[in-house]
Amino acid sequence: MSMILNEAELKKLPRPIRKKPKITPKIMHFGPGAFFRSFVASLIDDVNRRDVKKWGIIAVSLNSEDTFNKLAGQDFVFNSWSLSSTKKRVQQVSSISDLHVAKKDVQFVLDALSDEQIEIVSLTITEKGYYYNSDKKELDFRNQNIIDDLENPENPKTAVGFLVAGLRSRYLNRKAPFTILSCDNLPNNGAVIKKVVLDFAQKLDANFAKWISKNVYFPSSMVDRITPATASQDIINFANEFGFYDPALVIHEEFFQWVIEDKFPSERPQFELAGIQMVKNVELHEKMKLRCLNGTHSALAYLGYLAGFNTIAECVSDKKIANYILYLWEKEIIPTLEAPEGEDLNDYCNELLGRYQNPAIEHRTWQIAMDGSQKLPQRILETVDDLLKHRRSFQGLALAIAAWIKYATGVDLNGATIDVRDPLANDFAIIAKKSKTSEHYVDSILDLSKVFPENLRKSSIFREAIQNSHKLLEQYGSLDSIKKLMVALEK
Ligand code: CS2
């Protein structure tokens, strides 16, 4: 085959095709993005290959038609391509039975949720999709989307609104509920989704809320597989290698880890068949992953972006940065953790460095930098809070927080504009505009209760450390600040 070089040539190629009949859907999944496809859909597909009982998935996108447009022309089948410098493996995934865009098809989604055939509703809606106010530890009642859904619960637009509407119909019709499985990077994600669902339901009908609390299961889960956004070049590479045009292709590392709290009231997929771990309690796994992986990912995203690095692999190919990350694990992150059964924290982090170095995965710092206000608390701030309580040094993480604060101004250290994507981006811009000095700006950001827990907001030690790190960054830039910090810490 001659080399495919452009979009027009690509589109002449065949699309992937379904090899087997469609499977009856028993799972509904909200959030059909790349991570869902590389992880939930791929692993369920793996389970289906190994079991006579099959679990089909109805995927739901709340607003965007993007994924629908990519998958509809190929009967919702796509390729999941795992890449490393030495291995390439491709899996054609056919666990998605159907995909709907809720905004255009509210009634379909509500009807499917009311139908007892759907046993599990899983979620990859990202942190902000939960509308969880982490300061008040409740549903964010002041968010306009939640206000709208509460006023109009029969015509929801948020995932929480849909879950409650579906459960309500089951409750009113005396049907068995579905189980809600969160697959997002939040600590105690099961408890968080339970809390927001209950807060919402409570406003509608107290007895209904009681029924949920007694009958609905919300297992927590820890999810892990590095999956960058698919680039057009990936689609071209795939076409050249396999002769198919697959606009829904996902690229990811071979590694995966899915640890699920084994709390399902009725039948569930035989997750174990695909190497998924079923455990009594996932808390330690979640904490390990959020702090070791996501914490350093975010540190690399902000410091790396400000240093001019495009991808995580580029960042850790710089020795100074790699040493800094090793330092974070050894001195500031691992000391706050208890190892989950079967894990060795040092081995876990060493393996992580190898995963970051994977040259076949181009995971952009800009992509990971998105939604920092929603990510920082569980990834970095809780770790710092623990360190502070034990009077331990947190200077390494302080530099990462300062880098986020700098990044949030929307202007990098050379004066170039940054495309900041964050639900609080407007607040950051207003604060930056109002602040007369950098110091004022940092101080006002540190006042944000939606981001910083009270303990940190009130700690003069914390505020001073962030101010100092921010000054260092502004004076020396990202790489030299890391260098200076490491020299100081090694003394
Ligand atoms: C990343 C995660 O984008 C991000 O914020 O830190 O998506 C990360 O790649 C996954 O959690 C890995 O499992």
Nearest atom (ligand 1) to Cα of 371: 5
Which numbered atom of ligand 1 lies nearest the CA of 367?
A: 3
Atom of ligand 1 nearest to the CA of 35: 7
- Kindly state the DSSP code that residue 313 receives in the 8-state scheme: H
Whether the pLDDT of residue 104 is over 80: the answer is yes
- Mean pLDDT on 284-293: 98
Residues with CB under 6 A from ligand 1: 185, 224-226, 293-294, 297, 367-368, 375
Q: What angle do CA 178, 184, 188 make, to 5 degrees?
A: 80
Q: How far is the CA of 197 from the centre of ligand 1 (A)?
A: 25
Output the pLDDT for position 85: 83
pLDDT, one tens digit per residue, over 178-201 is 999 999 999 999 999 999 999 999
Position in ligand 1 atom list of the atom nearest CA 228:
9
Smallest CA separation from ligand 1 atom 11, residue: 224
Mean pLDDT computed over every residue of the chain: 97
**Kind and range of the H or E run holding 47:** helix 42-50
Q: Which of 38, 82, 185 to mutate to test the pocket of ligand 1 (most atoms within 8 A of CB)?
A: 185
Q: Which atom of ligand 1 is nearest to the CA of 363?
A: 9
Q: Take residue 311 and report the two structure tokens written for it.
A: 């991808």
Residue 5 is predicted with a pLDDT of 77
* Residue nearest (by alpha carbon) to ligand 1 atom 10: 226
Q: How far is CA 484 from the centre of its chain?
A: 32
Residue nearest to atom 8 of ligand 1 (CA): 226
Question: What is the chain's length?
Answer: 491
pLDDT in tens, 56-81: 999 999 999 999 999 999 999 999 99
Q: Are 55 and 225 in contact (CB under 8 A)?
A: no
pLDDT at 6: 85
Helix axis angle, 460-490 to 319-327, nearest 10°:
120
CA of 117 to the centre of ligand 1 (A): 32
Using alpha carbons, select from 276, 225, 294 the residue that is nearest to residue 255. Answer: 225
Calpha distance 150→477 (Å, rounded): 47
- Among 294, 366, 367, 380, the mutation site with the greatest number of ligand 1 atoms within 8 A of its Cβ is 294
Distance 368 CA to ligand 1 centre (A): 7
Q: Which residue's CA is minimally distant from atom 6 of ligand 1? A: 294
Listed residue (85, 79, 76) closest to 21, CA to CA: 76
Residue 432 CB-half CA count within 13 A? 14
DSSP state, 181? Answer: E
Whose CA is closest to 224, among 348, 60, 321?
Answer: 348
180's enclosing H/E stretch is strand 179-182
Kindly state the tokens that stand for 51: 């079991």
CB 165 within 8 A of CB 105: no
* Beta strand ranges found along 34-125 (DSSP E): 56-61, 78-83, 88-93, 96-101, 120-123
Q: Cα(first)–Cα(last) distance of the chain, in Å?
A: 60
CB distance 101 to 16 below 8 Å: no
Which structure tokens are listed for 134?
């982490």
Rounded average pLDDT over 292-298: 98
Record the tokens describing residue 331, joined without a space.
């001195």
- What pLDDT shows up at residue 13? 95
Mutate to test the pocket of ligand 1, among 224, 230, 368 (most ligand atoms within 8 A of CB): 368
Task: Tell how far the Cα of 215 is from the centroid of ligand 1, in angstroms.
Answer: 32
Q: Which amino acid does the sequence have at 357? A: Q
Report the atom number in ligand 1 closest to the C-alpha of 379.
Answer: 6
State mean pLDDT over 93-118: 97
Of the pLDDT bands very low, low, confident and very high (cuts 50, 70, 90), residue 4 is confident
> By alpha-carbon position, which residue is closest to atom 3 of ligand 1?
368
| pLDDT score at 491 | 76
The predicted model gives 42-53 an average pLDDT of: 97
pTM higher than the cut 0.85:
yes
Element (H, E) at 301: helix 295-306
- What pLDDT is stored for residue 7 in this prediction? 84
223 alpha carbon – ligand 1 mean position (Å): 9
Q: How far is CA 253 from the centre of its chain?
A: 16
Q: How far is the CA of 301 from the centre of ligand 1 (A)?
A: 11
Question: What distance in angstroms lies between residue 448's CA and the mean position of ligand 1's atoms?
Answer: 24
Give the closest residue (by CA) to ligand 1 atom 13: 224
β-sheet bridge partners, residue 180: 121
Q: DSSP secondary-structure letter at 3?
A: P
List CB contacts of 46: < 8 A, sequence separation 6 or more.
91, 273, 274, 275
* Residue 205 CA, ligand 1 centroid: distance in Å: 37
Residue nearest to atom 5 of ligand 1 (CA): 368
- For residues 125-130, average pLDDT: 98
| pLDDT tens digit sequence for 394-447 | 999 999 999 999 999 999 999 999 999 999 999 999 999 999 999 999 999 999
Structure tokens at 32: 């059909």
CA 116 to CA 112: how far, in whole Å? 8
CB atoms within 10 A of CB 24: 10
Q: What is the pLDDT of residue 490?
A: 83
For the record, the structure tokens of 145 come out as 């989307």
Q: Residue 409: left (phi > 0), alpha (psi -120 to 50), or beta?
A: alpha
List the domains of the chain with CATH numbers: 7-279 (3.40.50.720), 283-490 (1.10.1040.10)
Contact 472, 408 (CB under 8 A): no
Q: What percentage of residues in the chain have a pLDDT greater than 70?
A: 100
pLDDT tier, 1 (very low <50, low <70, confident <90, very high otherwise)? low
Distance CA 107, CA 60 (A): 12
Residue of 117, 16, 105 lying closest to 57 (CA atoms): 117
- Residue range 114-131: average pLDDT? 98
Nearest to 404 by CA among 428, 436, 439: 428
Choice from 251, 285, 296, 297 to test ligand 1 binding pocket (greatest atom count within 8 A of CB): 297
Query: How many CB atoms neighbour CB 189 within 10 A?
Result: 28
Q: How much is the pLDDT for 266?
A: 87
CB 23 within 8 A of CB 97: yes
The closest-lying atom of ligand 1 relative to the alpha carbon of residue 368 is 3
pLDDT in tens, 346-393: 999 999 999 999 999 999 999 999 999 999 999 999 999 999 999 999
- Give the Cβ contact number of residue 482 at 10 Å: 27
CB 403 within 8 A of CB 306: yes
